[in-house]
Structure 1
Amino acid sequence: MANSAQARKRARQNTVSRLRNAGQRSMLRTYVKKVIKAIESGDKAQAQAEFKLAESVIDRIADKDIIHKNKAARTKSRLVARIKALGA
């Protein structure tokens, strides 16, 4: 357990931060799942609309360093590739 006042405060801050970050990651996964669901239904217009929403969420979370910028880029790239494959 934390012994100093500074360590106790950091422990409190880490708890709040961890919960906030978990919520943000959960929201990210939800938006990605919405895009995947639209892709699997075969609706390209719906998939593109969902991707546009997901893209802003992905970028916002990457800017806050909740996920790595490369992971954000990789996720967006894979989603775009799957959406493009719908037209073929």
Structure 2
Amino acid sequence: MANTTSAKKATRKIARRTEVNKARRSRVRGFIRKVEEAIATGDLAVATEALKVAQPEIQRAATRGVLPSNTADRKVSRLAQRVKALSA
């Protein structure tokens, strides 16, 4: 249990940041899910559009520190690869 005033404040800040980060992580998962659903249906146009929308969201999460940068890059790369495979 936090004893000092600064430790109590830090606990409050951590709780707020955790809520924000949870929301951001959930938002990113939603965008990824939309791309994967479009890939599953086999619709190239929808999948491409979903990827265009998802990519900046994933990168923004990495910039904000919600995801590690390499993880975000890997996710975007793998999604792009799968969308590209639809056109072949």
TM-score scaled to structure 1, two decimals? 0.98
- SS across alignment from 2:15: helix
Percent identical across equivalent pairs?
39
Q: What's the RMSD between the two structures over aligned residues? A: 0.5
Partner of 2:20: 20
- SS across alignment from 1:79: helix
What per-residue deviation string (whole Å, max 9, x for no partner) do you get for residues 14-52 of structure 1? 000001100100000000000000011011010010001
- SS across alignment from 2:65: coil
Segments ≥4 residues shifted beyond 4 Å: none
Q: Equivalents in 2 of 1:72, 1:54: separation in Å?
A: 11
Q: Equivalents in 2 of 1:12, 1:81: separation in Å?
A: 41
Count of residues paired in the alignment: 88
Unaligned segments of structure 2, at least 5 residues: none
